[in-house]
A and B are shown apart, each in its own frame.
Chain A
């Protein structure tokens, strides 16, 4: 059963159609990269996929639940339980330490502070973050993305979605972060969706789809990734 299912989704802003009958599915343990030029509809597809926007037509399911029909509150709860998000700019809270940032989703989910911090310490240690007690605004770009990945993994999600995760990183750090991300389907058993315009990043996915003018123009099912 696909962890992420995008079923004939179309979306338009006013008269401008951004997505046109897009469908895709991702199963646990597999990775999918979505590429495309600026304005091709990547960000809109991502927003719809994670429940920040509702599609004009079609449906999106996350972990078997149709997120595109949920209320804002229920969608947030679904994300908290089943989705890990790695944002383009990290979106770490600058005044929290690395471990507090990583523990935040657990605390929002109602875990006790000590339990959440233990889990955060474990994740940060696994991801090679050496300074868990440093406030986020003092971390380097690579460290920030590692902390962001740790935060995305905190609740043991069914799917991790990464939006341009290496956009602001140098080549070496980009490769390190990519190694970490693409190991997740194997080590954590989750599905991975990466949105990136960088061929070096998207090329490492099990499958890469390209959006052009709101349509998926290429699809080649490999393993658990493909069009339904």
Chain B
């Protein structure tokens, strides 16, 4: 048993250690690929511009609510090396798209905005196979420098020292430092606790055995050697197997669940990476042995104390419970009434969660002790011996039960909270979603800030059928709304002869969302021709009441201006940005899932170890009553019921703390009930499962044999 536990612990530690190697090496590889495919831009006014091989411009774009990047290339020296990942330079009108972009619904129409699909970008040149990127070929004659087109001498720049990316910056999900911090928080800390729990299995027996050997004159050195002989082999096997698996994984690509990040094994498959994996494996095996020696330090290091486990507080814990509930209520109340200050609300939410988590330990001590008292009274009334024994154990020795139940309650609170944080939507995002519904594609914003005046004038001369343009002028927030009579009548119900304050049209104007973003003192003014061409921002308005097709509008504009100006749904950037934030925040869910799984595994192991330890003290029950139901009643009382109560209490705190932030309109997760119910179900299955396993283990080891006969 302890050999298997040692092997498992070493495997776990080797895995967590290896994740650091994967993050370090994998991140560097991604950065290197990103830097290698980034165009090397030169200043057109310098002599270096004479070595330019192509013109280049870049545009951020969106497909639905997902971001995409479009790189325009107009080659002037076809003999120059093509972009990484492409066998040749994209010809004019050709589009090379990444696999992830082509997998999306509507990708065909999206590609058609820019030309015809010529090929797929190779994975080797992408930061990640989830990257949405396209190269668009343009004729060099159509390039109109100096506006937004820049000369490039090739591809490849120095990787950024700050650990950020270039073109694939959105795919990095934080810096390497933040990933390492996350690993420490969600990987190392739980793994160490789990390691101690695993190695504690059978520790009591070992401790007794070591004490006997010590009493017979065994020196600490001999005891250390004995422990080394027992544990070094299994630890080496456990870490060795994981290391071998990880080395084998360098030949494939694997995906991080939920977050959807793919990790090519080749990224950490260099000699350095494999060497680091082997070193981590050795360290993991050594750490297991060190942990075992530390657990038995009383025997192996005689002068070191054994320390003491935390004990729950007494009756004052009831006040703690009240404080805990108060905090949750305060959090709920605050968030319910004041959702407009996300920073302060987040701070209160985080601090309330932290305090609640800390206070859960003594609270669970009081609750389980009281529960033991109640169960004991019930057992005396009904005459159930095993329940009485289990209940008194819970009542008088709540340390073990407290530890287990606290872990369960904390896991549920933390997981629910992580899910809330992970799906938290800012007020601006919710407003953007609401405005998107109002807009209903009846208007689009066209950004002409990078276009020449002549190009802008071409748009007004030949605008798409059924569509009107309103020019939005002014520095900063637009303060002038310009349009011809047709479009002004359509939007405002009249065509003013002279500039008229926008305020005057507030009641009469059609629900045009773009109006929301204008300056308060904006004026509406009739204008034609040249006046309109001065504006760098347009609102395309549907004159026939039919939704404007973003793709169709882009194609039509692309026939007049190349590359076509950016066409966006009003507040699209906010929506895309918010979804990107949600996408990144899925890491919270990954962390929460990991924390929940590790916590429950830890709680299960701890439960089994504690039940086994207690069962040895209760051999008399097995001596007189060896029926399965006796063992089951005992295990259920000792583990199942406290775990169920812990799960229920944790769920109550989780619901209280997550109700408000998930109840506001536009929240990604409407209510936490689904997740909490799921976790309750997991906790219930866990409680029942551990109880049954514990009962079988007690029955299997024939508790009566533990008696000092």
Contact = CB atoms under 8 A, between A and B. Distances in A.
A76 B704 contact: yes
Interface stretch (A83-91, A171-179, A186-194): A83-91
**From B384, B396, B625, B627, residue with most partner A Cβ within 10 Å:** B625
A112 interface: yes
B392 A73 contact: no
Contact of B388 (A50, A92, A96): A96
Interface residues of A, number: 39
Interface string B596-624: 00000000000000000000011111111
Contacts of A151: 620
Interface string B363-395: 000000000000000011111111011001101
A52 B707 CA distance: 10
B256 interface: no
Given A91-B707, A91-B708, A96-B392, A108 B382 contact: no
Nearest to B380: A113
B397 interface: yes
B40 interface: no
Contacts of A47: 709
Interface of B is mostly: helix
Contacts of A121: none
A107 to B, nearest CB: 4
A107 B627 contact: no
Interface in A1-60: 43, 46-47, 50, 52
Contacts of A64: none
Contacts of B383: 106-107, 110-113, 115-116
A87 B707 CA distance: 8
Interface string A95-106: 110001000111
A222 interface: no
B709 A95 contact: no
A80 B392 contact: no
Contacts of A89: 708
Contact of A79 (B380, B393, B395, B623): B623
Contacts of B381: 113-114
Q: Looking at chain B, what size class is its interface with the partner chain?
A: 20 to 34
A110 B389 CA distance: 15
A104 B626 contact: no
Interface string B60-73: 00000000000000
Contacts of B709: 43, 46-47, 50, 52, 87-88, 163
B463 interface: no
B696 to A, nearest CB: 14
B630 interface: yes
B500 interface: no
A105 to B, nearest CB: 5
Contact of A95 (B392, B623, B707): B392
A40 to B, nearest CB: 15
Contacts of B708: 87-89, 91, 163
Interface string B388-409: 1100110111000000000000
B624 A79 contact: yes
Contacts of B396: 95, 135
Given A93-B392, A110-B383, 16 more contacts: A76-B704, A79-B624, A91-B619, A93-B389, A95-B395, A100-B380, A100-B388, A100-B392, A104-B388, A104-B620, A107-B379, A107-B385, A108-B630, A113-B379, A113-B381, A113-B382
12 contacts: A76-B704, A79-B624, A89-B708, A91-B619, A93-B618, A96-B389, A104-B389, A104-B624, A108-B621, A110-B383, A111-B383, A116-B383
Interface of A: 43, 46-47, 50, 52, 72-73, 75-77, 79-80, 85, 87-89, 91-96, 100, 104-108, 110-117, 135, 151, 163
Interface of B: 379-386, 388-389, 392-393, 395-397, 617-627, 630, 702, 704-705, 707-709
Sort A-B residue pairs by CB-CB distance and give the 8 closest, nearest first.
A76-B626, A107-B385, A108-B625, A113-B383, A95-B392, A95-B396, A113-B380, A108-B385
